[in-house]
């Protein structure tokens, strides 16, 4: 596997010829909707164990060894019919990729809304360990409000994917701090909530539960930890697993209602898996920036692995970007875009896709009806960079928010880098 950045003058056919692949293979692997209009700066996934590279004027075996990270001696060895001193443009060089690479196991979770379309679900299911339908919510007395999850559970089991029930403190469409406090403060309500969770797990055949409680009052930190301990004991006695979802912290004493009650050390001891929501630096009502900048994600993981066993951590992966109007005004909303849609926008407006090295994220600008826009999103290069953090920090795996959009390159990269765990 390698990733190629489109340059001015490139066409799909000449890229395919250069790497010895069929144009149709490149179209399918990169989910290209308009292959005749590639975008300068667009990153394309080249899926192969080796490539037949057509030399261009001025290239040498040494320059290819530097570009593709293959030792010069190896290139000479696998191309015995080539004179390395008298190379000519148009000659074919075999470049082996991913030599001596071993793939480590990875747990892969995907959140899905019940209204996910069949194409997106089919796109993701082969690459998942667990599927998390989003979400069961609560009544003020601690009862669960169910969702229409029967089809998702059925489809998950058919694909050897284990369904995980998601429970949130969403009341009337948004996370509610006070309502959760009232439940946690009342012994009868918390007992009812735990009983309701176990009843639903038994009824639906879930593998476990993911407690995604957000905007918890800082005063409820310890009582929430106590609740999770009680829940974990009951779950483990019945053979179920407990996941929790945590905000992306960089220190134990990080201020803010999103962070203070999320106790990394305690939850790392209690839960079987921890999903760290490493996204939303760029968000709907915030200023333009990468949704999941690599430099910020790394800061979170540097702290997380000091508090949580790495083998329990699932790193959050966003499956969306944002389109902001410029100049940005505080309080204005960005529009959510998928990765395929983002590239189509760049094609439509003739934009060049740039790549920010610090955040390891692509972005581009365009003008529509006199209004300037900037789009930050992810592509094969940025996705691969993020997934490499799983190896760097020896994490359990990743969790996608959400799989409701199909992006084929992501799953191909994931599968190439890891052996996906099936439970």
The two three-digit tokens of residue 41, written as one number: 């700066």
129 within 8 A of 161, measured Cβ to Cβ: yes
Residue from 119, 124, 47, 43 nearest 342 by CA: 43
Give the active site residue among 182, 188, 214, 307.
214
Active site residue 214: yes
Cα separations in angstroms, 375 against 39, 321, 333, 362, 369? 14, 7, 13, 8, 16
The two three-digit tokens of residue 46, written as one number: 């080249």
Length of the chain: 423
Q: What positions carry a catalytic annotation?
A: 214
């Amino acid at each position: 596997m390698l990733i190629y950045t489109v340059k001015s003058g490139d066409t799909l056919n000449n890229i395919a010829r250069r790497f010895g692949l069929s144009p149709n293979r490149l179209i399918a692997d990169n989910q290209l909707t308009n292959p005749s209009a590639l975008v300068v700066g667009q990153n394309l996934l080249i899926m192969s164990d080796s490539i037949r590279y057509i030399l261009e004027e001025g290239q040498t075996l040494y320059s290819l060894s530097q570009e593709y990270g293959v030792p010069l001696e190896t290139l000479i060895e696998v191309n015995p019919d080539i004179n390395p001193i008298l190379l000519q443009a148009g000659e074919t060089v075999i470049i082996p990729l991913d030599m001596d690479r071993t793939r480590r196991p990875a747990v892969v979770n995907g959140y899905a809304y019940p209204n996910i379309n069949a194409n997106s679900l089919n796109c993701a299911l082969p690459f998942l360990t667990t599927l998390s339908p989003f979400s069961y919510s609560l009544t003020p007395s601690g009862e669960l409000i169910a969702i229409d999850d029967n089809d998702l559970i059925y489809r998950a089991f058919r694909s050897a994917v284990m369904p995980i029930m998601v429970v949130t403190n969403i009341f009337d469409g948004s996370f509610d701090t006070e309502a959760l406090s009232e439940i946690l403060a009342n012994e009868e309500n918390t007992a009812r909530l735990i009983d309701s969770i176990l009843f639903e797990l038994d009824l639906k055949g879930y593998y476990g539960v993911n407690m995604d409680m957000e905007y918890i009052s800082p005063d409820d930190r310890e009582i929430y930890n106590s609740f999770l301990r009680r829940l974990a004991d009951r779950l483990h006695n019945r053979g179920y697993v407990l996941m929790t979802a945590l905000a992306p912290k960089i220190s134990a004493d990080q201020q803010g209602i999103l962070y203070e009650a999320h106790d990394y050390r305690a939850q790392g001891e209690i839960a079987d898996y921890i999903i760290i929501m490493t996204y939303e630096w760029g968000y709907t009502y915030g200023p333009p920036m990468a949704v999941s900048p690599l430099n910020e994600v790394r800061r979170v993981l540097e702290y997380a692995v000091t508090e949580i066993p790495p083998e329990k951590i699932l790193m959050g992966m966003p499956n969306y970007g944002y389109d902001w109007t410029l100049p940005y005004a505080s309080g204005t909303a960005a529009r959510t875009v998928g990765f395929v849609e983002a590239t189509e926008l760049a094609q439509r407006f003739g934009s060049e896709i740039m790549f920010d090295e610090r955040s390891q994220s692509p972005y581009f600008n365009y003008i529509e009806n006199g209004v300037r826009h900037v789009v930050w999103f992810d592509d094969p290069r940025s996705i691969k960079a993020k997934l490499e953090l799983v190896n760097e920090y020896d994490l359990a795996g990743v969790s996608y928010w959400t799989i409701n959009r199909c992006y084929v390159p992501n799953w191909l990269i994931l599968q190439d880098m890891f052996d996906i765990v099936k439970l």
